[in-house]
Amino acid sequence: MHRILTALLCFAMGLNIASAKRIADTNSDVLHVGSFNVWGDKQRNNVIKKGNAPQLRSWANGRDAVAQMIVDANWDIFGVQEACPTVRKELPQLVKRNGGRYKWWFALPGEYDPAKPSKHLANGIVYRKSRFKMLDTDISWISDTPTRSSYNKGDKIHKRVIGSALMRDKRTGKLFIFTATHGPLRCADSAENAQIIIDRIRLFNKDQLPTILVGDMNAQPHSAFSARLRTAFDDTQDIATRKSEVRGTVNGSRPLEGVPGPRCIDYIYVGSADGSHSVSEHNVFINRYEIGGKMFYPSDHCPIGAHITFK
């Protein structure tokens, strides 16, 4: 019954993955872009220890569902957040085993410390190796010293890294910038932090190429942080021709019967110097998978996707 209800709900909301695959496959210019906070190993365990999630939500139990979600979504290129050492080691192999043919690059927030490996949450840029070539990369930080590994002055939980890459689409020959980041948690409503992201991308993007920015921004649409980002980029949710009725991306840590709540903190932004970009579709994926005999979202965030074309 759970499977039937979930399938019907996905269909009603216009979120079926088959539709996303069809659009991505029939237009060679379309970039099927995604963003997914996969919920790192230690982050899951902390919630479980506090009694706010069942043991079934551990990474060991949920990693196969995370990998299958990525394969089912069929993105061409996507960003990953909360890629702790365990995730970085296991997820690429799990996705490959399930049929996903991707290349993975991780923007590490600092020097690796074996004594504190869980502190190092990286952002990943993952792309279909048959379609794209990564030509250059850049790593910076959302802090007062963005050129060196450092904490944000208002958030000492994790070093908030900005990972950018210069990409070439082998299919069309077009160049673009792809950036993945994870916004500060305790001062997310800061326009200053958003401006750091904008400035770092502009410094890397010397040729003013089209740009895609994805990530868990830890900021809702009405925040000063989001408003500042919208001065430089378009939110694909806002400009998409077709969009899912679901906007919220935070689903919580327990099995849920309904759709995510209203909190939207995950985004795909797009920008181009001459405004020559379009977005045909934006989706919040609410697919759930069976884990230990119960239906769960693979992560505490629902992944998102957008179909972007640079004209």
Q: Per residue in 205-220, pLDDT tens?
A: 999 999 999 999 999 9
Q: Provide DSSP, 129-145.
A: TTTEEEEEEEEEESSSS
* 25 phi, psi to nearest 5 deg: -85, -25
- How many helices (H) and strands (E) the chain has is answered by 8, 15
- Model confidence pLDDT, tens digit, residues 93-128: 999 999 999 999 999 988 766 677 666 799 999 999
Whether 2 shows a pLDDT value over 90: the answer reads: no
Question: What's the pLDDT score for residue 254?
Answer: 58
* CA neighbor of 125 nearest in space, from 161, 156, 157: 161
In this structure, what are the phi and psi dihedrals at residue 60, rounded to the nearest 5 degrees? -60, -35
- pLDDT, residue 120, reads 77
- What is the CB neighbour count within 10 angstroms for residue 102? 20
CB 31 within 8 A of CB 76: yes
Domains and CATH numbers, the chain: 2-310 (3.60.10.10)
Residue whose structure tokens are 């759709």: 259
Q: Which of 13-22, 80-89, 157-166, 289-298 has the lowest mean pLDDT?
A: 13-22
Q: How far is CA 135 from the centre of its chain?
A: 21
- Phi, psi of 119, deg, nearest 5: -70, -15
Among positive and negative, which fits the CA dihedral 188, 191, 193, 197?
A: positive
pLDDT, tens digit, 9 for 90 and up, residues 153-180: 888 888 999 999 999 999 999 999 999 9
Q: Write down the pLDDT at residue 189.
A: 67
Residues 213, 146: Cα–Cα separation, whole Å: 17
The pTM assigned to this predicted structure is: 0.89
Rounded to an integer, what distance in angstroms lies between the CA atom of residue 74 and that of residue 128? 10
Q: Give the model's pLDDT for residue 198.
A: 98
pLDDT at res. 224: 94
Q: Structure tokens of 92?
A: 């690429």
Instruction: Report the range of poorest mean pLDDT among 72-86, 95-109, 241-255, 282-296.
Output: 241-255
User: For 48-65, what is each residue's pLDDT tens digit?
Assistant: 999 988 899 999 999 999
- Read off the pLDDT band of 11 (50, 70, 90): very low
